[in-house]
Structure 1
Amino acid sequence: MASAPQPQLPLFYKDLLPLNSRDHADWKVGTMENAAFLAETHAVPLTSDEFIDAQRHFPIVFTAGENPLPIALFGLNEGVNTFIGDDKKLVSEIYVPAYVRRYPFILARLHQDSDEMSLCFDPTVSVVGKHAEGVELFDAQAEPTEYTKGVLDFCRRFEEAGQRTKAFMDELGKLDIMMDGEISITRNDEPDKPFVYRGFRMVDESKLRDLPTEKLEALIKNGMLVLIHAHLFSMNLMRNIFQRQVGMGLLPTPDATVN
């Protein structure tokens, strides 16, 4: 079974195999017992479709660089995830980004010169394999089961959401309302030693307010203004993440880069 071409694997994925009825006719999918693959990830990709749900749980910021993308912050420092317990499981009360729910499956191009995408999976995860128990991937006629069809549909919808996210980010770029982010957090017991976080992008509220009326009205009509406000509201959760790290005994770095 040949792996799919992978010049650079996405976050979490260590290898990719295209799912097919020839090689995986009798393979099954078990239950993901924990989220160990996520345990040392402090920032997870997010689609614009998810802003409303995610903003209640995580700060939503944008990556630095020429092509910024939205991310949900699970921690303020590299390798720190404040929503993973000692049992390597996600805490139950949070919204789980679609990027995480999709794993270990993904739609990927098997040939770089083709736009056709195939359903693949990470074979290094034992949850997918030749198991005695689990959900079947193919039926007796070597056709995809309802489970597999559902996975494929979810991955397709994720890709579509990715396109909408790109359009959203392109529009933010045209409006020129982004700025380099900086958050300063102080502890009550050390008010003279602020913890400063940089290395991310965010919407500049003053630039947003100064947009011409017609552009603001356009943002209202196309739904972007609601998403922008969700991002801005979520920034208040930076202190929550900070406190979660402190509670875990993982005192954040005083001057850190979030990326």
Structure 2
Amino acid sequence: MASAPQPQLPLFYKDLLPLNSRDHAEWKVGTMQGAPFLAQTHAVPLTTDEFIDAQRNYPIVFTAGDNPLPIALFGLNEGVNTFMDADNKLVSQVYVPAYVRRYPFMLAKLRPDAEDLSLCFDPSVEFIGKRDDGLALFNEKTEPTEYTQGVLEFCRRFEEAGQRTKAFMDELQKLDIMMDGEIAITRADEPDKPFVYRGFRMVDENKLRELPVATLETLHKNGMLILIHAHLFSLNLMRTLFERQMALGKVPMSQGAAN
């Protein structure tokens, strides 16, 4: 079985194989025991469809660079995830981003010049393979089972959400209301030594307020304004995230850490 060509694999994925009835007719999906792939991930890609749910638990910021993307912060420093327990499971009652729920599946092009996307999976995971227990990927007629069809539909909806997210980000770029983010957080016992976090982008509230009334009305009608506000409100969780790191003993000794 040859891997689908993938010059640069997305976050979490170590390899990609196209799912097919010839090679995987007898394969099943077992129960995922925890999420070790997420344990040391401090930022997870997010779609705009998820802003309202995600902003209750995570700060939502945008990546730096020419093509910024929204991300949910699980920690303020590389390798720090404050939402995982000792068993590599997400703590209860937090929103789980669709990017995480999609793994180990995804839709991908089998060739760079291909137009269609195919359902692929990461074969490095231990819970997918020839096994006695679990959910079958194909039935006796080598047709996709209801489970596989559900996975395909979830991945399809994720791709559609990705297109809406791209349109949202393109519009933010056109409006020119983005700025380089910087958050300074001080500890009560060391008020003169702030921890400064940079390396992300955010909406500039001043520029947002200065937009023409007609533009703001358009943003309100097309649903973008509520998404922008969800992003801005979520920034209040930066200190909460910092305190979570402190409780875990994962605040770096040196100041000036960046995302």
- TM-score, length-scaled by structure 1: 0.99
Q: How does 1:236-251 map onto structure 2 within 5 Å?
A: 236-251=236-251
Deviation at 1:168, TM superposition (A): 0.1
Matches of 1:114 and 1:87, distance apart in 2: 40
What is aligned with 1:234?
234
Q: How does 1:42-191 map onto structure 2 within 5 Å?
A: 42-191=42-191
Matches of 1:162 and 1:147, distance apart in 2: 23
Quick one: which amino acid aligns to residue 30 of structure 1? G
Aligned residues: 258
Matches of 2:87 and 2:146, distance apart in 1: 31
Matches of 1:130 and 1:102, distance apart in 2: 21
Quick one: which amino acid aligns to residue 148 of structure 2? T
Matches of 2:88 and 2:78, distance apart in 1: 17
Quick one: which amino acid aligns to residue 133 of structure 1? D
Matches of 1:244 and 1:118, distance apart in 2: 39
Quick one: which amino acid aligns to residue 157 of structure 1? R
Deviation at 1:15, TM superposition (A): 0.4
Deviation at 1:114, TM superposition (A): 1.3
Residue 18 (1) aligns with residue 18 (2): yes
Quick one: which amino acid aligns to residue 28 of structure 1? K
Matches of 1:62 and 1:126, distance apart in 2: 33
Deviation at 1:257, TM superposition (A): 1.4
Matches of 2:246 and 2:115, distance apart in 1: 46
Matches of 2:194 and 2:179, distance apart in 1: 21
Residue 193 (1) aligns with residue 193 (2): yes
Matches of 2:114 and 2:132, distance apart in 1: 36
Deviation at 1:137, TM superposition (A): 0.4
Matches of 2:179 and 2:249, distance apart in 1: 32
What is aligned with 1:31?
31
Deviation at 1:73, TM superposition (A): 0.2
Deviation at 1:186, TM superposition (A): 0.6
Matches of 1:56 and 1:41, distance apart in 2: 19
Deviation at 1:93, TM superposition (A): 1.3
Matches of 2:26 and 2:60, distance apart in 1: 41
What is aligned with 1:213?
213
What is aligned with 1:256?
257
1:256 is paired with a residue of what secondary structure? coil
Deviation at 1:6, TM superposition (A): 0.8
1:229 is paired with a residue of what secondary structure? helix
CA distances 1:36-59 after superposition (whole Å, capped 9, x unpaired): 000010000000110000000000
1:147 is paired with a residue of what secondary structure? helix
Deviation at 1:235, TM superposition (A): 0.1
For structure 1, the residue ranges without an aligned partner over 5 or more in a row are: none
Matches of 2:141 and 2:88, distance apart in 1: 38
Deviation at 1:67, TM superposition (A): 0.3
* % identity of equivalent residues: 76
Matches of 2:119 and 2:128, distance apart in 1: 13
CA distances 1:18-47 after superposition (whole Å, capped 9, x unpaired): 000000001000111101000010000000
Matches of 2:214 and 2:30, distance apart in 1: 52
2:197 is paired with a residue of what secondary structure? strand
Quick one: which amino acid aligns to residue 121 of structure 1? F
Matches of 2:71 and 2:237, distance apart in 1: 14
